[in-house]
Amino acid sequence: MVEVRNLKKQFGSLVAVEDVSLSVKAGEVFAIIGASGSGKSTILKCINFLEPPTAGEIWVDGRRVGVVQTGGRLRPARASELRLSRAEIGMVFQNFNLFPHFTALQNVIEAPMAVRGLSRRDAVDLAKELLDRVGLGDKFDEHPRRLSGGQQQRVAIARALAMRPKVMLMDEVTSALDPELVEEVLGVMKTLARDGMTMLVVTHEMAFARDVANSVVFVDGGRVVEQGPPSELLRAPQEARTKAFLQRILRTDA
Amino acid sequence: MRIDLLMDYWPAIWNGFLITVLLSFVVLALSTPIAFFLALARQSQFAMLRWPATVYVNVFRALPVLIVLYFAFYALPQFGMSLSAFQAATAGLVIASSAYLAEDIRAGLAAVDPGQRQAATALGIPYWRALRRIYLPQAIPISLPPYITRAIIIVKGTALASLVAVNDLTAEAVRAISITYRPYEFLAVAAALYLLINALLAVLQSLAERRIALKHGRVVAGPATVVQ
């Protein structure tokens, strides 16, 4: 479903991501772990071209993102073409990034109406169903500032789902939450996983990676250090750097 | 106080007042959209838009408005462009005002959390729609107070038009003084009339801020007063 080939991202002289290749199958939950500054969020942002890659290829659902082939030639995608690719890729951010002047419902209906051309009525029906699904059936008309962090993040998930994406990118979605609110967001993500949503999840929640992910990749210094099923990578890491990272994380967890 | 003198010159003063109101209105109505596009251009990812806008703003922000006015009135005819006094004053004031207003509008846009742009982009919302529905509604409340302050400065600045032969409020007051030698009466009347226009702007600001606060479901602290 998602193929990342030899991805490289450079900011000026700083190489944030180097030679990263990932392969995510449909319905898979793919966890990316690593220290902050290791480049894991940048990998996600390259997948939907929020950060255009310096080099490498991104494929989502059999289509190249950001590059279009016409005749035998490759050219950069136009803004309108990029929008269509992005519409297939849902993204949820660490800081929610809800539209503060919109209610929960308005946050969810905006993109389906603007991008998918849904009528207001259809968009509202869809949004209510999705907000129900994330447990916010009673918060349709609340503005973000009246919602807790966990509730805001669940609205953000519903907003991304409203585009009927083929894959969801989750960028440290619980990192900005108070500890007691983390579980309600992880719960929604577990439900999504059960329902077969393909997800790339950048996370510090090792328990979530262990219990929900099909595959885990450890990133350090912008490169993939080690990759494997969570039962192997988290329990019996092969690389010294992975071991050191997990020890640090588990100590702070306990 | 010579009320009788005031009465004699009132038709001319009133006429000048109307010209000041008209000039202020035309200048603001033309500068605002220009300033808006300058602000967008200065944020553009395209260097071909960004650079000319940046140069324009920095040049006309740096020049005395009077120099720009004189340029429009005295220098343009040298190049075969003859403008009436009112047109020249309008052109000069619009050029200078749009550079100032652009910065106020840009400051509002720049204050919108970059995460908003990321979210809108990730959802695939087209730029102009995102601008209209998402960025501007958040930028306008931030830009409004400095915008109104600047608008008030611009209204006062229209007095400079009296120096390029526009018969505005200031010109009529000065003419009446030069004939009657009664500066106190006519300056007081002119001051009161300028105050009237700018009080109106302050009221508009208050109303707009209250409307925005209501729309955002926020409680507003109190009416803002910006009269200079």
Q: Tell me how close the Cα of A58 comes to any Cα of chain B, in angstroms.
A: 15
B138 close to A (CB below 8 A) = yes
List pLDDT tens digits, range A41-66: 999 999 999 999 999 999 999 899 99
User: Measured between alpha carbons, how far is residue B165 from residues A81, B22, B67, B84 in Å?
Assistant: 55, 16, 15, 9
- Residues in chain B closer than 8 A to A84 (CB atoms): 124
Domains along the sequence of chain B with CATH = 3-216 (1.10.3720.10)
List pLDDT tens digits, range B41-68: 998 889 999 999 999 999 999 999 999 9
Nearest to A101 by CA among A142, A150, A135, A130: A142
Contact check, Cβ <8 Å, B133/A115: no
Helix (H, G, I), strand (E, B) or coil at A168: strand
Q: Which residue among A90, A99, A156 places its CB closest to the CB of B134?
A: A99
- Residues in chain A closer than 8 A to B138 (CB atoms): 100-101
- ipTM (interface pTM): 0.91
Interval B158-175 mean pLDDT: 94
How crowded is residue B167: how many other Cβ atoms within 10 Å of its Cβ? 17
| Lowest-confidence segment of B45-59, B145-159, B213-227 by average pLDDT | B213-227
User: Which ranges in chain A belong to alpha helices (H)?
Assistant: 40-47, 79-87, 104-115, 120-133, 149-161, 179-194, 206-212, 230-233, 240-253
Q: In the structure, what pLDDT confidence band is assigned to residue A253 with cuts at 50, 70 and 90? A: low
Contact check, Cβ <8 Å, A110/B125: yes
List pLDDT tens digits, range A29-42: 999 999 888 999 99
Q: Tell me how close the Cα of B47 comes to any Cα of chain A, in angstroms.
A: 17
Instruction: Please tell me the predicted confidence (pLDDT) of residue A50.
Output: 94
Q: How many CB pairs under 8 A join A and B?
A: 66
Q: A35: phi > 0 → left, psi -120 to 50 → alpha, else beta; which?
A: beta
Q: In the structure, what pLDDT confidence band is assigned to residue B23 with cuts at 50, 70 and 90? A: very high
**Residues linked to residue B12 through DSSP beta bridges, in sequence order:** none
Q: How many angstroms separate the CA atoms of A174 and A85, rounded?
A: 26
The whole-chain average pLDDT of chain B stands at: 90
Q: Which residue of A has its CA nearest to B134?
A: A99
Q: How many angstroms separate the CA atoms of B71 and B65, rounded?
A: 10
Q: Which residues contact A88 (CB under 8 A, 6 or more apart)?
A: A60, A61, A163, A165, A166, A167
- Residues in chain B closer than 8 A to A143 (CB atoms): 216-217
Number of H helices, E strands in chain A: 9, 12
Contact A22, A225 (CB under 8 A): no
Instruction: Please tell me the predicted confidence (pLDDT) of residue A37.
Output: 84
Q: Which residue of B has its CA nearest to A108?
A: B123
B113 close to A (CB below 8 A) = yes
Q: How many angstroms separate the CA atoms of A103 and A128, rounded?
A: 12
Q: How many angstroms separate the CA atoms of A38 and A243, rounded?
A: 16
| Lowest-confidence segment of A94-98, A233-237, B150-154 by average pLDDT | A233-237
A107 token code pair: 């946050």
Higher-scoring residue by pLDDT: B184, B2: B184
Q: Which residue of B has its CA nearest to A85?
A: B124
Q: Tell me how close the Cα of B153 comes to any Cα of chain A, in angstroms.
A: 31
Q: How much is the pTM?
A: 0.86
